[in-house]
Amino acid sequence: MVQGSSSAEHGGPPPGARAQLLDTASAIMREGDVIDISLSELSLRSGLNSALVKYYFGNKAGLLKALLDRDWQAIVTSVDALLAKDGWSPEAKLRRHLWKVVDTFYEVPYLNRLTMRMVRESDDTEARRIADCYLSPIYRAYEELIGDGVRAGVFREIDPQLFYFTVTGAVDRFFSARLVLKHCFDQDTLTEELRDRYREHTIDIIMAGILAR
Amino acid sequence: MVQGSSSAEHGGPPPGARAQLLDTASAIMREGDVIDISLSELSLRSGLNSALVKYYFGNKAGLLKALLDRDWQAIVTSVDALLAKDGWSPEAKLRRHLWKVVDTFYEVPYLNRLTMRMVRESDDTEARRIADCYLSPIYRAYEELIGDGVRAGVFREIDPQLFYFTVTGAVDRFFSARLVLKHCFDQDTLTEELRDRYREHTIDIIMAGILAR
């Protein structure tokens, strides 16, 4: 029942099937600018039997939760590693962080909307888990990074909580705005060229906004 | 059929009923952090017969479209008036604009999400209308305002298209993030105090980011 057609003879799911389902779900959301998927499209695009969703994730909600976990764990790990770097100035760390944030939202432009949807549709315990595991660690990283820069005199006095909304909002809005691009600017997709331009713009304006003069 | 109970004897809908339905729909979305409404809740909260929705707007989709039009027309009118002000410097106009943007998203925090939903669910003609009537005028205002400031030497060379995403993203994200506030920061609602703090922060960091040194 849980076997893909190609592995029916082995009696188990094909190797890498779980990761492949998540990769495919991510690609569907990214390309379609949506935060939902149909299991039949997932099965068609991944070449995997949709019973595997039940096997690995229980149901579609479980699949969405696993995708949220996958995407956020990568972000938290990356931010933790950046903050732990010895010998980097707060300015260098912030520049590098902004660079990565743009990359991240380019890869998973659905993530903020998906997160808000999951928080909205979850009970209090699960909403708290999402906040504790993913949102709060990022906020605490901002608190540490901005605090270090302010104490070193390289950053102006900026509230890290509010700064967190400034950065994530500015970046997220751009990459979730495919529809605006299409209908206002006759630009159909997010390209690497546009990503690089927006990255340069974002780092430029945010750093100018925070650096002490 | 279209009469509210209080006006049944007059043979027509109560005066101001159309505006009252829109006001109530706006309040429901703002308070609930949602971009949908139930007609029964709308009727209960407004004290108006839900047949009036059919009378004025055809159906719920028509009501949502009318709300979108109401909110956006106010914004476009206000931005046009600001740009037309004689004797104001580009810096003063931008500061005033940022002040107003924060006010707007505080009042109608659902507007960006609602706009994206309407664009997504509309046919090409209606999506184009929304872009042409509401999104493009705001973008063109940015082009004019930033261009004036760059030519006057008070603003650095900033791409107005990208700047538009920076500002609207930073502000929108904050006010649509009630759930983040609740679960990360144990702060249950958007207060005027928080609005004012975020306004000061936003104007501070954006102006520092754009002003020539």
The 10 Å Cβ neighbour count of residue B82 is: 17
Mean pLDDT confidence for A86-96: 95
User: A15 CA to chain B: closest CA distance, Å?
Assistant: 37
DSSP letter assigned to residue B155 = B
Query: Minimal Cα distance from B197: which residue of A?
Result: A162
Q: What is the pLDDT of residue A189?
A: 66
- Determine the pLDDT at residue A5: 46
Q: Are residues A35 and A88 in the same domain?
A: no
Token representation of residue A130: 């999402």
Contact present, A28 and A43 (Cβ < 8 Å): no
State how far residue B166 is from chain A, nearest Cα, in angstroms: 4
Domain that holds residue B178: 61-210
| pLDDT score, position A15 | 87
Q: Report yes or no: A146 and A167 within 8 Å, Cβ to Cβ.
A: no
Q: Is the pLDDT confidence value at A173 over 60?
A: yes
Chain A interface disruption, residue of B143, B180, B198, B206, most A CBs within 10 A: B180
Do A97 and A177 lie in one domain? The reply is: yes
Same domain, B147 and B54: no
Domain of residue A106, CATH code: 1.10.357.10
Sign of the CA dihedral A155, A156, A157, A162? negative
- pLDDT at residue A11 is higher than 80: no
**What is the identity of the amino acid at B7?**
S
Contact B165 A177 (CB under 8 A): yes
Coil, strand or helix at B132? helix
- Kindly tell me if the per-residue pLDDT of A202 is higher than 70: yes
Identify any residues that bridge with B211 across adjacent strands, giving them in sequence order: B155
Q: Report the C-alpha gap between B126 and B132 in whole angstroms.
A: 10
Q: Is A45 found in the same domain as A65?
A: no
Domain count, chain B: 2
User: Cα torsion for A174, A176, A179, A181, to the nearest 10°?
Assistant: 20
Do both B201 and B110 map to the same domain?
A: yes
Whether the pLDDT of residue B165 is over 80: the answer is yes
Note whether A21 and A81 are same-domain residues.
no
Residues A52 and A106 in one domain: no
Which of the 8 DSSP states describes residue A59? S
Whole-number average pLDDT of chain A: 87
Q: Which of B102, B117, B164, B165 to mutate to test binding with chain A, by most A CBs within 10 Å of its CB?
A: B165
Q: Looking at B58, B74, B92, which one is the last position of a domain?
A: B58
Is it the case that residue A2 has pLDDT exceeding 50? Answer: no
Cross-chain Cβ contact A169/B169 below 8 Å: yes
User: Which chain A residue shows the shortest CA-CA distance from B120?
Assistant: A179
Q: Are residues B53 and B9 in the same domain?
A: yes
Tell me the per-residue pLDDT of B123-151, one tens digit each, with 9 for 90 and over: 889 988 998 999 889 889 999 999 999 99
Total Cβ atoms within 10 A of residue A51: 15
- A133: which DSSP letter? I
For residue B189, the model assigns a pLDDT of 66
The ipTM of this complex is 0.80
**CB–CB contact B209 A208 (8 Å):** yes
CA distance A202 to chain B (A): 8
